[in-house]
Structure 1
Amino acid sequence: MSQIDASIFLDSQSNQKEILLADLQTAKWIERINLYTDLEQLAEHFVYYHHHLTQTVMGTTVKRLEQIDKLFLGTVILKWSTLYSTALSQLRKYFPLGSAPSLTVNGKNWSEILLINSVGLARLANESRYAEYWSEKSLSNSAVYDSYTDRLEFLTTDLHLQLNHLKLTGSLTIYDAANLGVTTYDIAKAVYESPDPNFIKHFRSLGWQVVSFDEGANQLCLLLYEFLR
């Protein structure tokens, strides 16, 4: 099977390659989390790893994690890794190695390492943000923390796959008040809670910025809305 070099579609003037590599390396790194039996030690090692990534991607480090109780942080990290690894399992299911060209970055074949073809790895950023969104907000929002089980179950649904495809193609782009990309789970939840089919109005009432919401996105949300009714 042929290979695709990621550099052909990454902006060399931005940090897109560094972000992609961070996602790929993290996908590999979480395989080691099961080796940890001490949550506080896991938290300490993750903070070190996180500093390394943010320094590489942004040129700085984020000190916030150092202020959080290590036992709680370790618990969040463990759940975050389960979200991420479940997402990876889904990508391996739908985009297995060998069913499309492989993806290489800096000469390394990441499709062979993660057992996901290039089409699946193109979705890795969204899957990474899905787990990251929950973990970041869980540190200060108990309601988000308590939604973990529902978010984990949603990852394995066709609806997640369909909404993720719309996000990937640019048909559905929504940011929250903190300028974080809203996840497929939160979009579906908002559609369910919308008082009427004017979804954009409802999204904006939540403080979200709707960048793109084309007819395909509207039709899928309408089907979901009518089904849930």
Structure 2
Amino acid sequence: MDVVIEQPEPDKIKILPHVQYVTKDHLTPQNAAPSPLDQFRAWFKEAVEGGKVNEPEAMSLSTVAASGVPSARIVLLKQVDHSGFVFFTNYTSRKSQELEGNPHAALVLYWREVHRSVRVIGRVEKLTRQESEEYFLSRPIGSQLGAWASKQSTAIGEGELETRLKKVEDKFGGAVPTPDFWGGWRVIPDEVEFWSGKPSRLHDRVHYIREDGPSGEEPQWKIERLSP
């Protein structure tokens, strides 16, 4: 059933019945992968190869300022490696400033078309300069120039961005270096939850909790099922 709304008063909207979730698989701690990163790669591959999910790499990134005020925005997942989830941004942006002050973040990916979601909570670290440069050089030239032109998260006047972009184009021409103020962040998960939608809101929820072993060893994961 599609979303239905009622507006009983001018300033109020009530949201009524919603679509029923119908995932065919049944995710449990017994059939989930031992590592949440392996489980994520399997789900992400299905989301991409099935062709049903629009922009499966889009994810909500939540950070918390020093004052305790949270903020969230959509960023794009660019890499999943042995340690965590990687995205790239301007290091002077609001998100980066908040991560500098409080190096923890939460991610949520929601794949509406296949009724799946992944939630991540973890610590963050900056990528090495080499890692950031390798990705920057793989970006289209327009995106490279845009990284230099935009003072991300700051107020800007009408036409100012176009002026800055023209100056950057004139300065660099075809070879654009990686800005010192731009690079990647890696979210290293401490918790990961996989959500699979089911009818009557009786969803599958499998939750991983990191249990660190001796230094240098791969983390172990406690896997549990959560009530829907």
* Bin for the TM-score computed over the shorter chain: under 0.3
More strand by share: 2
Q: TM-score, normalised by structure 1?
A: 0.20
- The one of the two structures with greater contact order (alpha-carbon pairs below 8 A, sep at least 6) is 2
Q: Higher Cα Rg: structure 1 or 2?
A: 2
- Higher helix proportion (structure 1 or 2): 1
